[in-house]
Each structure stands twice: as C-alpha cells, then as structure tokens.
Amino acid sequence: PRKNLKKIPIKAHDCVCLFSGGLDSAIGAIDLLAEGKDPLLVSHGYKGDKSHQMRIKSSLDNFFGGSIGHLILNAHPVTAKSGCRDREITMRTRSLSFLAFGLLGVSAVQAFSTPFGSKDSLAIEKDPSQASKRMKLYVPENGFISINPPLTRRRIGSHSTRTTHPQFLIGIQELFDKAGFSCEIENPCAFKTKGEMMQLCRRPKLLETILKETVSCSHWKRSRQQCGSCLPCLIRRCSINSYGHTTFDATYSYPDISHAFMKFEVNEGKKDDIASVLEFLQLKGQKAQLLKRIRMSGRLPEKDIPKYFDLVCRQIAELEKFFRDHTDLARYLPPEEDKIDS
C-alpha cells in the first residue's frame, strides 16, 4: 500500500550532497550554498534524525532565501510476509544505502534535466567519454573520522566504522562507473579536521546558529541526547574548542570528561573511547607508529599518505588541547614538548 507516497520536488540542481544532520554535513551544505551551488540535499531519515535534519534545513532556507531541495528516504527492510518477525535490525547497511540514496538523487536530477524518451536521454550514463559531465555527489566528512585510524590495536576491521574511507568510496565509485552512472563521489573535507572545517566554514554566524541542532554522537538514539564521551563526541568537542566558542555546543550526558573517565574506568571497568583516545595520544611524536596506524585503517593512495599523516598530527593537537583545556587528565597525556621525529 502506498499510503505514505508523496512527491518530492526536483529541479535542475547542479550537485547532490548527503545530509545526515551531523555537523560535518551541515558545514558541507553551508559551504556549497555559499559558493553559489544549488545542491539537492539527500537524507537518510531515521526516526529522530529527521527532525534535526528538517530544523537545520529550515535554517538554511531562511538564511539563503529559498527552499533548498531535500530528498528524505528511509530504508526499513522487513519481510513481505505478514506477521513475520524476520527483519534487518542492525545498522550495517546504512552507509551503502545512504550512497545509493545519493545516487538516486543524482539520477533523478539528471532525468529532470534530460527527460526520459528524448534523443539524448541518459546519454551521460551510457557514454563513458562524457565523464566531465558527471554530477558530483558530495559526501562531507572530516578526514580523521573518514580514515578512522585504529586508536588501539584492537580497533581494526569492523570494530570501527570507516564508511567514508577512501578505499570504500573508491570501490563504490568503481561500481557506479561500471554500471554506467554519471555520478562522481567527492569528499570535499578529506584532508581537514572537523575543527578546520568549522574554522573555514564560509558562513560562521549561520554555523553558530545551527550548531546545537547538529548530532555527532554514535549513541544518541538510546536517550535522544549526545553522550559527550564517545569518539565522535570527543572529536566534536575538541573541534568546537579549537573554534573557540564552546557556549554554542549541545548538552551532553557526560559534560565532565574527567568524571566520565573515572566512572567508566573505576566503577564499571569499561574501556571506553576516552581511554582509547588517551592511549592514541601517546603516539604523538612517533612518526613510524602513526604511519602504521594510518595504513592499518585501509588502503590509501600512496601519494596521499603524507597528507593523511599531517592530518592525523593536527587532529592529535586538537584533541590534546581539548583535554588540557577542559579535563583533569593531563597526567595521561604525552609531554607537551614532544615533537614529531624524522
């Protein structure tokens, strides 16, 4: 039954941008709009996420003066058999489906621009020589979380999410190309930390306005509140600290990192993300070990390894500054005078 069917307005947008409701995707959308581009925003509208996406999008509409195209889809895989309980309850397919939704958005815009049935219909998709006409599918994600180097030796493989890792995106791009789609995936923030994304945002006042509506936490669905202690929250908090305006940040379940660390480590015996980050920070100055961790994250273009190394060093600096500025955990940090060895 198509009781929830509705039409989404599509026009001749010049690009498509994944729009999750997170801080990175919000900055990505702001920058594209500030550059004069006309993106179609594509969202994976899980319950709870959608409300944040809509509020951020409304702020973008008001600021830029117009209704920005927004395609919201939700993969809810269940069996067709009535009453059957078998269903997909994990989130393991979300990255693949999110990119597929982005491709659907690209194809819809291209179909609008070159209507089906015309002489040139889908010519771009069927002729590889037209690669220069491929539409961009932007996937804004800060470079550190994108490669997600293992903080400890145990956080390898599927123990950590790497859904925008270059190896994964290159593989998806190859699938798109071989299937004949004229869609080019690009992460415009591949070599930026989240803090640098904030500092370089083209409309800082707008960013500060919507900051509290963005969600970074990997656990927030459990309580509808960002925890403040998981890796995405820690990266978010150190980024906002480097930006210099912590008062614009969200409310966290664990605003005091020191207290959260002691509670998790002493009272519950958990090895949480705070401990893993502190362990990773001990690698500051150890070039060989950092390069090893970067390569452990997955296959990367050899020419880009130096860029990712510099990126990881800058991220370490942002994290260390946050821990020194806002926690009592300095005893777990490396000496401040450590330098990168040759």
pTM for the model: 0.88
* Residue labelled with tokens 């994304």: 197
What are the residue ranges spanned by the domains of the chain? 15-76+92-186, 216-332
Confidence at residue 333, expressed as pLDDT on a 0 to 100 scale: 92
Per the structure block, which two tokens stand in for 246? 């912590």
| Rounded-to-integer distance, Cα 167 and Cα 297, Å | 9
Confidence at residue 60, expressed as pLDDT on a 0 to 100 scale: 97
Residue from 318, 320, 296, 295 nearest 305 by CA: 295
Low-confidence stretches of the chain (pLDDT beneath 50): 117-125, 131, 269, 342
Per the structure block, which two tokens stand in for 78? 């269940």
Per the structure block, which two tokens stand in for 240? 């906002």
249 near 212, Cβ under 8 Å? Answer: yes
Q: Bridge-partner residues for 78, per DSSP?
A: 87
Q: Bridge-partner residues for 315, per DSSP?
A: none
- The CATH topology of domain 15-76+92-186 is Rossmann fold (3.40.50)
* Residue labelled with tokens 């995405």: 232
State how far the alpha carbon of 323 is from the alpha carbons of 32, 213, 235, in Å: 32, 24, 11
| Rounded-to-integer distance, Cα 100 and Cα 88, Å | 17
Q: Bridge-partner residues for 143, per DSSP?
A: none
- Which run of H or of E encompasses 176? helix 166-179
The pairs formed by 207-211 with CB atoms below 8 angstroms and a separation of 24 or more are: 207/26, 207/27, 207/30, 208/245, 208/248, 209/59, 209/63, 210/26, 210/55, 210/56, 210/59, 210/60, 211/23, 211/240, 211/248, 211/249, 211/250
Residue from 43, 26, 36, 108 nearest 65 by CA: 36
| Rounded-to-integer distance, Cα 296 and Cα 40, Å | 35
Digit-coded pLDDT (tens) for 131-151: 457 999 999 999 999 999 999
Residue from 290, 280, 273 nearest 334 by CA: 280
Digit-coded pLDDT (tens) for 197-217: 999 999 999 999 999 999 998
3-state class (DSSP) for residue 137: strand
